[in-house]
Structure 1
Amino acid sequence: MITPIACISNGESIDEKNVLSFVIIILLLEALLLGGFLALDLLLFYIFFESILPPLFLLIGLFGSSNKVRASFYLFLYTLLGSLFMLLSIITMSSIMGTTDFDALSKANFNYITQLFLFYGIFISFAVKTPTIFLNTWLLKAHVESPLAGSILLAGIVLKLSLYGIFRLILPLLPKASINYTYIIYVIGVITIIYASFSTLRTIDIKELIAYSSVSHAAVYLLGAFSNSIQGIEGAISLGLAHGFVSSGLFICVGGVLYDRSSTRLITYYRGLAQLMPIFSILFYILSLGNCGAPLTLNFIGEFMSLYGTFERVPFLGLLASSSIVFSAAYTIFMYNRIAFGGIFSSFFFKYLFDLNKREFVLLTCLVIFTVLFGVYPAPILDGLHYSVSSLIYSN
């Protein structure tokens, strides 16, 4: 669903002569992502995990904004160097077991020291992709300089590979290390939440704000994933799914609607758009509520269950992690209030800022419907996850 939305959302900002190469890169990226999610072999997963970098490099390098080359190299080098640690862990597993098949490795009983070594190698790789504190420099540059489709795919799908990898590699293959080192991961997650939230509060670039909020939400579902509870893991998966819908919608609002019309992403430039763009303001409002984790959205269910699992495991750190609720409400309400209200609009807006066209309305409405529908009735997601999550926990 996210891939066609990303492809269509960028349609009017790509030159006709470059449309073919743009679509080829998007479809190649989608095929490689599907390969990563469907791989049943650890080495094959790593190959697909790394092979998404060249399409992303080309997507940002060819279709990005002014500093696109620098951003694409940041993305490529950061994630490539981080993934080398996972390759070292895979080689170690293969030398011990003689295979890289997931089923065979899940039956292995590595000793504690070996699990510790393997855990750090794999976790560092996923921490870069999530990303966490000190390893998130590449994400901000990639989001800001990326074309709209790149930002949507990066936030909606690519960053979720790390969450999938945690459930596919770390929890089933390295249970002792993942349980005993939960505290270290929780400290990293809480610091990431606080750092990203304060960084979000001080920025005036709307795209930067959404990128930093993505880091904060990623840290929340990272905490839920390592909670070793059914509620926490189901909440992490739900929040990852919800974040894909909401962040994609917000990037379309910023890069596909506001930036295409006014060529600026500064919050201080906009005010009073509710008077000129009422339909846009309504859909933007619902997506902003989702970014806050407000009730009746899927984000609320994901955040609540993730934080519940965290609080159940380590109450003090769960309490600190809950500050993300307050911070996300603060920066999201500030952003929406400034853009939609904030005083009388400029006369410049009459000429350039007009309401949504049919394409933009359909794209945003699809994302809003899924966000609200699963927020009101999450049973299809949670019921489908319950058996798999229970099996994952009790098998460990």
Structure 2
Amino acid sequence: MKTAERELRTRVQELCAGWDYTPACDSWMSGYDPAFSKELSRRGLLAVTWPEELGGHGGTNLDRLAVTEELLRAGAPVAAHWIGERQIGPSLIRHGGPELQREFCPSLARAECSFALGMSEPESGSDLASVRTTARRDSSGWRLNGRKVWTSGAHVATHLYVLARSSKEDDKHDGLTEFIVDLSSPGVTVTPIVGMDGEHHFNEVLLDDVAVPERWVIGTVGDGWRQIVNQLSFERGGPERFLSMYPLLAAISESGVLDEHGRIALAALAARLAVLRRWARDTARAMDAGDSPVVAAASSKYAGHRFERDVVAFARPWVPHCDENVRALYRQAVFAAPKSGIRGGAAPVMLSIIAKGSR
């Protein structure tokens, strides 16, 4: 490991050790603490890969991987900045014009604004190309109409990324455009979707003739599918796809309740985790080289979910012998595991991408 990576990991560990929070599974979705995100920014631990003129630090994707791995391992409350820093900023840097970059990237890097993802829709599931939300031009820009669902964090975010159909084409992958929407705009209605565990981070978002200025189009009108395929490498290839349950795995391993069979099972999971981490490093290197590792990212997500599901199964027989802190982590993991297999694309979609890309 390079000295720079080691130094970044140490800085994250020091922040987490001194911050008052309860480690949680799936913290990148449910651990919302804007103050923590702002402190990460103040310490130079956000927007690590972005250009300095846009509020970043000019680092590599390997540098960012070092930061995100440590945050996830610690179960830190990172949901306030995660989507914007992981996905929206890189998309703007890759596809957005200079004006759009200057308007949003520095604020994202300071954790002063936050984004939710308006991709999934009722009845469309993981088939993003079937979106029905429409965008039509008017004299002042665009008007968006439609409904988005499973929109994590829309009730607390300032802005919404929206994939919409800007024209009707023979191929459903054509005529799609990416937009930024101010969630305080007239015509936006956010309705909570409360989980079985009583937690609220999912939402349904109704867009009723919502005005969007022309400058808030991301990239090229009608070229949204090509752009989003590249963007999903940022979403699917990161360590959050296999480290969301790590706080539970660590707590069980440190609990002292495992017998010899349990320690053997733990060692097998540790070996799989090492492979997944290497996979994430390879993906980060590919992005540093300017590639869009779509197949590798889909493979990582697919294997990562299977690993997280197996972490929950491994923990199950040992949890009754553990304290309440471990039991709380287990409950979080049980409720999060099914969701982790769907968000970002369900398993059949990932397998289709892998199969097509491997021909």
Structure-1-length-normalised TM-score: 0.32
Which has the larger share of helix?
1
